[in-house]
Amino acid sequence: MGLNPLEHKGIPVEDQVRSWSDLNPQPYDKHAVDPYTRTRVILMNGIEVESILFSHQFARHTDDVDLKQKLALSRRIEAQQQKVVNGLNPGDQTPLETTIGYEQVAVDLTAWLARHEPNPYLHQALDFALLEDFDHLYRYANLYELLDGGNATELTEHLTEITPGRPTIVEHRHPSDDVRGHFETHTVDPLSRLHVMTIVAAEQQTMNFYMNHGTDWIEPIARGLYAEIALIEEQHVTHYESLLDPLDSWMKMLVFHELDEIYLYWSMLQQEQDSRIRSIWEEHLDMEIGQLHVACDLLRRYEGVEPEEIVPAELPDTPVTFEPNKDYVRSVLAEQIQLQADGLEFVPVDDLPKSHRYFAYQAKVNAGGAPSEQVIDANRDKSGREFRDETEGEHPVVDLRDPVSARR
């Protein structure tokens, strides 16, 4: 049985304010942490950031002081929660190591959501971007070896393979081809709504992280690679956010945000082995339930809608789970590597006419070469081979097999 959040009281929002020492938690040990604890921290930080940004946007679109004050209170709590979650990242984890964690989130979260997504179009949208983030992990792993002599598998612990996906250089699309059609709010499976909201927040956080950390390096190759991949993350936010029904009211969207946070903290709680971090997921779950009640009261008061009309009687009973998805990723690689986007649809790249805007856009951005290719060439020159971690055998796509290891 999934959780029925309306049956629980949670912690009243007025009682959720925490002190500075609570907001400055002991970080995890980067050498001892379970890779999927790192990914849970990255995901839940992105979820809190989305709650904060959404609430700010909502506040800018209402002239009701009482409503603004209610939003300000819940938003302050979300901002405190974000500090607690993000504060778990240790200071000796470099931005590039954190980046590899971000792409491990992207791969294993997207693959898991795709595997559990009932709507075929949403499923296809997840598969499509999965192959792109999978490729980012490989590019950054090569940058990590090139710049720091680092071994990315010490971060991923072989739970996620590292090898090319849809090559980043071909991911650059005309903006019109990143816009998708949206689900219908009255008919969508509640699970699908949660899936889309979750992946929007995760991709948005990745976009923000690369926007802000792309200049942490002196080396032009690193700065260039972050700029290039940050732009793909912007495409991914465009892609995923356009799946959401834009006709929901701000108030309903507020309720859906709290529901998604509840579902995700509950999910993280099911898997967390680190008892100290588990207690944070537990506490935040109770806090989110309290925040949901505030949102539901607002919905009732301002729109005359009973929360039961939009809140499902129970949340999905399967928790969003971080686990290896190697076979799944390999099957999508084998079947969908050649896909591109044409307007709202996905089509094999060979079906696009030569006059398609995709090729004109590609010619412009890739005119001087692409950092995502240069980083692999540079690491081959330095290390004598590129960095890969293919734990399940050779690459399922013949054209993407390693030219050096193939010659051995």
* Footprint on this chain of Fe ion (rule: CB under 5 A): 48, 51, 78, 81, 106, 133, 136, 203, 233, 236, 258, 261, 288, 291
Q: What tokens were used for 157?
A: 């612990």
Q: Residue 12 carries which DSSP code?
A: -
Rank residues 209 and 381 by Cβ distance to Fe ion and give the closer one. 209
Q: Residue 319 carries which DSSP code?
A: P
Helix (H, G, I), strand (E, B) or coil at 150: coil
Q: How far is the CB of 10 from Fe ion (least distance, A)?
A: 10
Q: How far is the CB of 132 from Fe ion (least distance, A)?
A: 6
- Is residue 181 within 8 A of residue 121, CB to CB? The reply is yes
Q: How far is the CB of 291 from Fe ion (least distance, A)?
A: 4
77 contact partners, CB below 8 Å, separation of at least 6: 13, 16, 17, 287, 291
Cα gap 349→326, rounded to integer Å: 25
Rank residues 81 and 163 by Cβ distance to Fe ion and give the closer one. 81
Rank residues 133 and 161 by Cβ distance to Fe ion and give the closer one. 133
Cα gap 130→381, rounded to integer Å: 29
Q: How far is the CB of 5 from Fe ion (least distance, A)?
A: 11
53 contact partners, CB below 8 Å, separation of at least 6: 204
Rank residues 104 and 192 by Cβ distance to Fe ion and give the closer one. 104
Q: How far is the CB of 27 from Fe ion (least distance, A)?
A: 20
Rank residues 8 and 385 by Cβ distance to Fe ion and give the closer one. 8
Q: How far is the CB of 299 from Fe ion (least distance, A)?
A: 14
Rank residues 163 and 291 by Cβ distance to Fe ion and give the closer one. 291
Q: Which residue type occupies 317?
A: D
Rank residues 159 and 264 by Cβ distance to Fe ion and give the closer one. 264
Q: How far is the CB of 24 from Fe ion (least distance, A)?
A: 18
Q: CA dihedral in degrees (50, 311, 37, 208; nearest 10)?
A: -10
Q: How far is the CB of 184 from Fe ion (least distance, A)?
A: 25
Rank residues 210 and 358 by Cβ distance to Fe ion and give the closer one. 210
**Residue 297 parent element (H or E):** helix 275-303
3-state helix vs strand vs coil in the chain, percent to 5? 65, 0, 35
Phi, psi of 322 (to 5 degrees): -90, 120
Cα gap 163→171, rounded to integer Å: 16
Phi, psi of 162 (to 5 degrees): -125, 110
Q: How many residues does the chain have?
A: 408
